[in-house]
Structure 1
Amino acid sequence: MAPGTEAPSEMHFYFPKYRALCMAENATHTLHNLLTLRGAVVRDPHVWSQYLTEAIERYGDDAEVVFTSHHWPTWGNAEIREFLGLQRDLYGYLHDQTLRMLNQGMQGAEIAEAIQLPPALENAWHARGYYGSVSHNVKAIYQRYMGWFDGNPARLWPHAPKEQAKRYVDAIGGIDRVLELARAAFDSGDFRWAATLLDHAVFTEENNAEAKALYADTLEQLGYGAENGTWRNFFLSGATELREGNFGTPTVTNAPAIRAQLTPEQLFDAVAITVDGPRAWDLDLGFDITLSDLDRSFHVTLRNGVLVYVEREPATDAALHLTLTKERLIRLAGGDLDAEGLDVRGDLGVLKQLLGVLTPGDPAFEIVLP
């Protein structure tokens, strides 16, 4: 068992008959993500490294092939021991050196610029940052231990990005001066600085055609120069948005087979994070739900903008008691009040008030514009 590594319940397993060791996604032919750029809980590189050590100690003398969930196998016992050892050292080094520099007073971005991998890791193709990167993994480790605040009080309460951008642009001398400096940075190849300046420019004047065009060119150059695939995707997605407009989220995760595996608790949690808090401040609702196909009942309340659910038998005097299947509950959470499959006792207006303050997520928000 290797929990808390690439996945919360990750595991490695060995097939003695074939002398084959599966390392799940913990020893791939790339540096993996410790924090996915799409957003997630920061993974633990310390235990990741330890579980690789355990795999080497348990199976390193016997394995003749090691394979993972996404990448090609490595054959030969000596090659396997070298591969797993370097992968182990990769995550261990990033963890330990980040904490060493953290304890010297450096913050995440500073550590990401200063850290150097040892030659054996730097020159191993399977340790390169094609998917995870040293830069954002180091900042993830810092985040895991220190959170978002780096201890500098000037960064404790900054303005929000749009208000900050207006002040930066004004301090620099106006939008024309910002664009002049950004063009100079672009022409000199300092695309990182150009992107920073242009970020402030479009957050001040989001419809400024010159700023958007130069920003798109800048992000495109950053994308072309990125070894890391996920960085490249973000840079080029930003350039596309600036040139062609918001293209939204290309896929929708709504597979019936996956939805069928969700527990009632997960469904209620999913609804809870769509409650528009301020609109629900003054509501005080309570009702019962019985899931007939699971033989389970819940009491649901909405108070102070917080949805709370407790598993218990329905009350005889409940303002509203709904009886339905779990699949019908999924449709109901989406606003489907059709009577089919819905047994209602009491005031359906209670449910309508709840549904009236639900705000689904936006799958097409801007990524480079305010």
Structure 2
Amino acid sequence: MNPAHAATLAAHERTRSALDFSDRRDFDDAQRGFIATLPDAHIEHDGGGVAWSQRPYGFLRGEAPDTVNPSLWRMAQLNHTHGLFEVTARIYQVRGFSLANVTFIEGAQGVIVIDPLQFTEHARAALALYRAHRGDRPVSAVVYTHSHRDHYGGVRGVIGPDDLARGVPVWAPHGFTEESFSESMLAGVPMRRRAMFQFGWGLPPGPMAHVDSGLGKAVGSGHDGFIAPTHLVREPLERHLIDGVEVVFQLTPGTEAPADMNLHFPGLRALNLAENACHTMHNLCPLRGAKTRDALAWSKYLDDALDTFVPQADVLVVQHHWPVWNTPAQPRRIADYVAGQRDLYRYLHDQTLRLMSHGLTPTEIAAELMLPNALSGQWFARGYYGAVTHNVHAIYAHYLGPYEGNPAHLDRLPPVPAARKYVQYMGGADAVLARARADFEAGDFRWVVEVLNQVVFAEPGHRPARQLCADAMEQLGYQAESATWRNAYLLGARELRAAAGDAGPPVNLPISPDVLAILPLDSFLDYLAIRLNGPRAQTLAVRIDWLLEDPTAPQAQRITLSNGALVHRPGRHSEPADVVVRTTRQELAAVSSGRTALATALGDGRLRTEGDPQALRALIETLDEFHPMFPIIEP
């Protein structure tokens, strides 16, 4: 690791000059209502080790060091706050025990839990802290605001089989289960690898490495679970009474998650905008990848909430960061905050579309588009998690896809042959490196990274090029206001400094047992189909009836493999299938890992077959095994 370059120090000074660091209202709000916490929010992992701890972030004191953007340092300090907080009468939050917040609403008979964090250990510790200071109230309901794992994965830490048996309801927006499966399974392998860069997994906490994740401190670890919703919100607005508490649900699909909703509590004069209005510019497509989010719909839903709910609210709660309160001195603070967030996404959307209509490409739009000063000067509009540049690309892709219209880009060479040509045209790797050193000294880090990326792809073992590219990425990381950009740059630098081809130890990618316990057979077969190697399978023609022998909900799917494509429909083939496969849920869990597990289960009889087992074996042999630590910054 290197010290901050003079160009980085100059960038930090520009940030200090542009923003009002004397405004400490967020620090006051983040501490308001504090009751108690665990020392350093330290939580042990059920399997041994640490599931979560703020202890390593004790360095977040005083002024920002030279190696951290001062605006990001401010957010990192705010996200270091942790504990149980009273928001208003009957509403409490535990913050800083996970990436997200858990909110507790005290009802007539128990406590309603909103978003039980990402891991069982996190949620259990948060609920224990709440009960230690508010009494041993039973959980009377669980609410998932949206379909991202950091808001539901810890549910087993707050309710269990006994709670479900006594009828504890679990509320979620329509489409919740399907979208949760889609994100965690179908795109799970590449998303997990890319998430390493977004969240900086593996970067040690410290002023030259990991300081924050923008939405919260870090991801943490532990056991995750899944309990399917028992009650779905299907209408745009629904009013319900849950444990004596009136709740108005506002569906907001396509905003921060494909299945998403806000909550208004009229009797408590409180509004919960989930993750749709946090203290940052959000991303419209995260660095880890996801379905692009609809900035226009996001803005409109916030406008609806501003008109319908904000006049009846004295406090605004969000599921990341800290609340916003109206005060006698600032009676419109919530309205101004929500209007600012609304305008943020509307401005990004409309100005991107305006410049698109002038024929500009995403890169050109991102270079030109600046938020208006009145908005960009607001702390809640800064890009700690999202960034203007990345959001412009997401909006462009949402409407027009990734192709920007230039036929020269229709059929580009793949990265490795293109890099070799670029380097050859530029006079060879050593010549590129010599010019790049001069640009590095001048502080032109973006260009250094771009040209040396070509050298790394052309000659992965060229150590001086890898080192200088890493040095330039490191400086960009130091400069980044976005925590996710910082993490991506710094992890990229670390991987470049490692031996070529060494991205680190493999990352385990299990499917949660709770997911497998309720996974529809057709979802499992979709997961199987994306492993099918089409070229290897294109000459096979196989018909399979797959039967899931579930006592509560038996399922049958007729599978057809032809032309290298695996399709399936409910039911069985009208003509005899080549093979009939029978599994239980437990056996389905055993074969969910891929080709090797399936072949083993077929060999030892756990996959019970009728007909020709070789037809199934032929299918299994065409399945790919995924390597979750695939290269990203090198070929």
Using the TM superposition, give the Cα deviation of residue 147 of structure 1 relative to its aligned residue in structure 2, in angstroms: 1.2
Of the three residues 69, 80, 92, the one matched with 2:319 is 69
Where in structure 2 are there 5+ consecutive unaligned residues? 1-250
Q: What do the CA deviations read for 1:290-335 (whole angstroms, capped 9, x no partner)?
A: 1110222111121111111111136573221122113423423432
TM-score normalised by structure 2 residue count: 0.57
* RMSD over aligned Cα atoms: 1.5
| Per-residue Cα deviation, 1:152-176 (whole angstroms, up to 9, x for no partner) | 1222222111111111111111111
Q: Using the alignment, how far apart are the partners of 1:95 and 1:349 within structure 2?
A: 54
Deviations 1:229-263 (A, max 9, x none): 11111111111111123125645343211332322
Per the alignment, in what secondary structure is the counterpart of residue 591 of structure 2? Answer: helix
Tell me how far apart the structure 2 counterparts of residues 196 and 159 of structure 1 sit (CA, whole Å). 16
Equivalent position of 1:261 in the other structure: 518
Between stretches 59-68 and 42-51, larger displacement belongs to 59-68
Q: Equivalents in 1 of 2:510, 2:543: separation in Å?
A: 30
Tell me: CA distance 1:126–1:251, structure 2 relative to 1, closer, same or farther (3 Å). farther
In the alignment, is residue 40 of structure 1 matched against residue 287 of structure 2? no
Which runs of structure 2 are paired with 1:25-174 in the superposition (5 Å)? 25-76=275-326, 77-174=331-428
Please say if residues 130 and 229 of structure 1, whose CA atoms lie closer than 8 Å, have aligned partners that are also in contact: yes
Amino acid aligned to 2:536? R
2:545 paired with 1:288? yes
Question: Is the CA contact 1:297–1:314 (under 8 Å) kept in the aligned structure 2?
Answer: no
Rounded to whole Å, the distance in 2 between the matches of 1:240 and 1:339 is 44
Distance 1:71 1:264 in 2: 38
What amino acid is the match of 1:285?
Answer: V
Could you list the per-position Cα deviations for residues 185-219 of structure 1 after superposition, in whole angstroms to 9, with x for gaps in the alignment? 11111000000111000111110111111111111
Higher relative contact order (CA 8 A, sep 6+): 2
2:385 partner SS:
coil
Residue in 2 that maps onto 1:354: 619
Measured against aligned partners, the alpha-carbon deviations of 1:105-155 in whole angstroms (never above 9, x if no partner) come to 111010001011111211110110000001100111111111122111222
Alignment of 1:328 with 2:578, yes or no, is no
- Counterpart of 1:260 in 2: which secondary structure? helix
Offset from partner CA, 1:340-362 (integer Å, 9 cap, x none): 55432112111111111110322
1:271 to 501, 523, 528: 528
Asked if the contact 1:264–1:326 (Cα under 8 Å) also holds between the matched residues in 2, the reply is no
User: Which secondary structure state, in structure 2, belongs to the residue aligned with residue 337 of structure 1?
Assistant: helix
TM-score between both structures, scaled by the size of structure 1? 0.96
Q: Distance in 2 between matches of 1:113 and 1:311?
A: 50
Question: Which residue is 2:70 aligned to?
Answer: none
1:214 pairs, out of 462, 468, 471, with 468
Tell me if structure 2 keeps the 8 A contact 1:3–1:10: yes
Q: How many residues align?
A: 370
Contact 2:507 2:629 in 1 (8 A): no
Q: How many Å separate the matches in 2 of 1:275 and 1:343?
A: 21
Aligned to 1:309: 568
Contact 1:325 / 1:341 at 8 angstroms: preserved in 2? no
Letter of the 1:246 counterpart? A
CA distance in 2, matches of 1:258, 1:154: 45
Give, in angstroms, the shift of residue 182 of structure 1: 1.2
Please give the alpha-carbon distance, in whole angstroms, between the structure 2 residues aligned to 1:253 and 1:4.
27
Unaligned runs of 5+ in 1: none
Q: Is the 8 A contact 1:275 1:358 kept in 2?
A: yes
